[in-house]
Amino acid sequence: MRDSGGRGRWYPAVVIALLLAILAAGAANNLVRNPQPRLVADGVPGHATAHTASSLGGGGERYAEMVQHALADLSALTLPNGATLAGWDGPWRYVWPRDASFVAAAHCAIGQYDEAHKVLAFLDTVRPATGRWEARYTETGAHVPDGREPQLDASGWVLWATWMCRSGNQYWDLVKESADQIVRELTSDGLPNPSPDYWERSEKQLTLGTVAPLLTGLRSAVRIATEQDRPADATRWRAALQKLSQATDQVFGPEYPRSPAKAVSFVEPGVEPVGVGGGADAIVTVLGPPFAPARPVVSTAIDRAHAVLTQPNGGVTPGESWRADGVSWTPQTALFALSAAARGDHARAEQLLSWLDRNRTRSGALPEKVNRDDEPAGEAPLAWTSALVILAATALQNPLPIP
């Protein structure tokens, strides 16, 4: 045998050093490709908070000021015709049916039905007679010709908001057209075809970001039809709900990743198989309360996703396959706060709400993002985050209804 001298001692150290250098270079390159986001705007020009703490309903004293400010911001972002802007500036100055639905639901959660009906009335004026909702609309209700595809998830969100606001009779046509569109979208395997979702990009694979809202929407539609004594519609939508639910559990369960697992690893007999691929997505929260009845398998998936998606600054990123830039997004952080509050995990809900409270802008608005330096970034206020904070704070005090 040949004596290798001292090479055996330094060779591993060289390899480790080389790997560390490669990792460092990769991290530096990633930061170049994903530069540090900054705050675009802070607050609505000429607007000051006007709500009092007594208007917060079940929001609770601890977060009363944050909820008060969020309500005032939603009031400022909602125009006289009911168009609720996602944000005040530039590319945010449009109405997303998704965001507007959450705004209506937040108002109804604290008893502000008149404000909610303004939002729902605008959505009713732009609803598609057939087909998918557009990704976003102008403040006058026109389609935005920016190349974004129609997004199927809106059919689910508007149904949930309408049910939350007890407005199924007033907006029955909206309910029927949205629910029937979901039914038409389901294919022979029980699932719809791919659609863009809240990530706002074209998708080649079906995502949980589409499926989860559709489940909530169909569940809400069944409740509305039952309450309105429309048995034929309730029966049709209940059958579609069962079909979609079974397919979702079969294809996405038990981890419920963003997209169906590309492969499954069987560790040993008797051990639950592990899905490979797909990646965690914050939208898994919509499979549980307050959007759906609680199930242990879903709660486990939600807790796992929160652990995986939590960033060094304390917030969460939308998904594992989202860009790895260390930036937290406030809507997804607030979704986990709402989920925790609705599932009775008040400690986690308060932890996340406190993080959101600490990371508001100087004006008190809730921003879209929090960057790697713990600075507010993106648009502020953001309507979706404001609505979610109101819902989460309310759920800490009073259980929200579950369709």
How would residue 144 be classed by pLDDT, with cut points 50, 70 and 90?
Answer: very high
Q: What is the pLDDT of residue 396?
A: 96
Q: What is the pLDDT of residue 39?
A: 86
Is it the case that residue 271 has pLDDT exceeding 60? no
Is it the case that residue 238 has pLDDT exceeding 70? yes
Q: How many percent of the chain have pLDDT more than 70?
A: 84
Is it the case that residue 18 has pLDDT exceeding 70? no
Q: What is the pLDDT of residue 73?
A: 97
Q: What is the pLDDT of residue 46?
A: 72
- Out of 151-160, 192-201, 258-267, 381-390, which region has the weakest mean confidence (pLDDT)? 258-267
235 in any annotated domain: yes
Is it the case that residue 157 has pLDDT exceeding 80? yes
13 in any annotated domain: no
How would residue 399 be classed by pLDDT, with cut points 50, 70 and 90?
Answer: very high
337 in any annotated domain: no
Q: What is the pLDDT of residue 307?
A: 98
- List, for residues 275-294, the tens digit of each pLDDT value: 556 899 999 999 999 999 99
Is it the case that residue 28 has pLDDT exceeding 50? no
For residue 244, the enclosing domain spans: 78-252
264 in any annotated domain: no
Q: What is the pLDDT of residue 42?
A: 82
- Alpha-carbon distances of 372 from 221, 293, 303, rounded to whole Å: 41, 36, 23
356 in any annotated domain: no
Is it the case that residue 20 has pLDDT exceeding 60? no
3-class state of residue 91 by DSSP:
helix
How many Cα atoms are found within 13 Å in the side-chain-facing hemisphere of 329? 19
Single out the residue of 351, 347, 253, 268 nearest to residue 300, CA to CA.
253
Q: What is the pLDDT of residue 156?
A: 98
**Token pair for residue 4?**
């290798």
Single out the residue of 120, 99, 126 nearest to residue 163, CA to CA.
120
At 270, phi and psi to the nearest 5? 90, -10
Q: Could you give the CA distance from residue 324 to residue 34 in angstroms, rounded to a whole number?
A: 8
Q: What is the pLDDT of residue 57?
A: 45
Q: What is the pLDDT of residue 269?
A: 60
**Token pair for residue 271?**
């051990």
Determine the average pLDDT of the residues in 304-328.
96
Whether 132 contacts 191, CB under 8 Å: no
- Name the average pLDDT for the chain: 89
54 in any annotated domain: no
CA angle centred on 153, ends 150 and 156, rounded to 5°: 130
- List, for residues 174-184, the tens digit of each pLDDT value: 999 999 999 99
Q: Could you give the CA distance from residue 218 to residue 294 in angstroms, rounded to a whole number?
A: 17
109 in any annotated domain: yes
- List, for residues 76-100, the tens digit of each pLDDT value: 999 999 999 999 999 999 999 999 9
**Residues with Cβ within 8 Å of residue 45, at least 6 apart in sequence:** 88
How would residue 167 be classed by pLDDT, with cut points 50, 70 and 90?
Answer: very high
Q: What is the pLDDT of residue 99?
A: 98
Count structural domains, the chain: 1
At 131, phi and psi to the nearest 5? 90, -175
| Consecutive H or E run containing 15 | helix 7-33
Residue 313 CB-density burial (10 A; 0-12 exposed, 13-18 middle, 19+ buried):
middle
Determine the average pLDDT of the residues in 327-350.
98
- List, for residues 117-138, the tens digit of each pLDDT value: 999 999 999 999 889 999 999 9
How would residue 48 be classed by pLDDT, with cut points 50, 70 and 90?
Answer: low
293 in any annotated domain: no
Q: Model pTM?
A: 0.88
Q: What is the pLDDT of residue 11?
A: 46
How would residue 45 be classed by pLDDT, with cut points 50, 70 and 90?
Answer: confident
**Residues with Cβ within 8 Å of residue 235, at least 6 apart in sequence:** none
Is it the case that residue 13 has pLDDT exceeding 70? no
CATH number at residue 100: 1.50.10.10
Q: What is the pLDDT of residue 65?
A: 95
| Consecutive H or E run containing 328 | strand 328-329
